[in-house]
Amino acid sequence: MQSVLILLGPPGAGKGTQAVRLSSALSLPHVSTGDLFRENLKLGTPLGEKARGFMDAGRLVPDELVIDMLFDRVGRADCRGGFLLDGFPRTVAQAAALDARLNGAQVRAINLSVADAAVVERLTGRHTCRACGNVHHERFSPPAKAGVCDRCGGALYQRPDDSRDVVEKRLAVYREQTKPVEAHYRSRGVLSEVDGARKPDDVYTALLRAARGEVR
C-alpha cells in the first residue's frame, strides 16, 4: 500500500529541515512544492515564470498550477511506494484533490507548530543552498564556512521571500488559507501534533514517532 506522510505547519516551521532526515529514515522521496517551483524558476520554465510573482509577494500560487505540478511529480516511479509531502496541501481544495488522487493510500499528516516570532527569526536568518536546496541558519545552524553549503559546497543565498515584510505576508496567508487544512485531516483521524519550537534533534525524534503512528 502507498504510504503518504504530509508535513503541515507555518513557513519556517522546519518542514524542509526535518523532511530531509525523515525522507532517508523512512525511505520516502521528499516532495516539496516550494522546491519544485524554485527548480522551475532556475530552469526558466513557463511554470516558473507564472509562479514567480506569487512567490515573491508571499502569496500562494493558484491551485491548478500547483496540483498539476505535484501530480506530475508523484506520478513518477520513485513515488510508487509512497512519498513525503512538504508544503502541500496548502489549501482545502488541494487537500481534496489529493484525497481524490490517492484513494486507498495510507495517509498520515503531522502539524509542526512554531510561534510567529520564532518564524520571523528563523526565516530572516535562513541561508539556502542554490545548488541543492539545503538550509542553514546564520545562528542556529551556521555552515562550517560562511556562504558555503555544508552538504554540497554550493553557494548560499537568502530567498527573496525571506525578507521581514514578505514573511509577515506569508504568515497571514498561512492563517487564512492553510490553517483550515488541519481540520481536514483531524476530522479523518490522521492528524498528529508536534511542537516544532524545540531543538532540531528533539523535533526529529517526535516526528519519527508520530510518522510511525506511535503517538498521536
Residues with catalytic roles: 15, 90, 126, 159, 170
CA 159 to chain centre: 15
Q: Please choose, from the candidates 193, 33, 8, the residue with its C-alpha nearest in 3D space to the C-alpha of residue 92.
A: 8
Report what 151 binds from ligand AP5, Mg ion, Zn ion, none; CB cut-off 5-8 Å by kind: Zn ion
Question: Residue 16, interface with Mg ion (CB under 5 A)?
Answer: yes
Cβ–Cβ < 8 Å for 33, 15: no
Cα dihedral: 95, 16, 192, 195 (round 10) = -140
Q: Which residue is at the shortest CB distance from ligand AP5?
A: 34
In the block, cell 520564532 appears at 118
Using the rule CB under 5 A, give the single segment among 4-12, 95-103, 148-156, 177-185 that binds Zn ion.
148-156
Report what 23 binds from ligand AP5, Zn ion, Mg ion, none; CB cut-off 5-8 Å by kind: none
Question: Residue 44: left (phi > 0), alpha (psi -120 to 50), or beta?
Answer: left
Helix (H, G, I), strand (E, B) or coil at 4: strand
Cβ–Cβ < 8 Å for 214, 29: no
Helix (H, G, I), strand (E, B) or coil at 172: helix
**CA-CA distance, 201 to 62, in Å (whole number)?**
34
Instruction: Tell me which DSSP letter residue 78 carries.
Output: G
User: Closer CB to ligand AP5, residue 174 or residue 191?
Assistant: 174
User: Closer CB to ligand AP5, residue 5 or residue 55?
Assistant: 55
User: Closer CB to Zn ion, residue 30 or residue 170?
Assistant: 30
Using the rule CB under 5 A, give the single segment among 2-10, 16-24, 37-45, 108-116 that binds Mg ion.
16-24
Q: Please choose, from the candidates 108, 93, 87, 75, the residue with its C-alpha nearest in 3D space to the C-alpha of residue 190.
A: 108
Per-residue mark of binding to ligand AP5, 31-70 (x: CB under 6 A): -xxx--x----------------xx--xxxx----x----
List of residues contacting Mg ion (CB under 5 A)? 16
List of residues contacting Zn ion (CB under 5 A)? 129, 131-132, 134, 149, 151-152, 154
List of residues contacting ligand AP5 (CB under 6 A)? 11-17, 32-34, 37, 54-55, 58-61, 66, 87-88, 90, 94, 122-123, 126, 135-137, 140-141, 161, 170, 199-200, 203
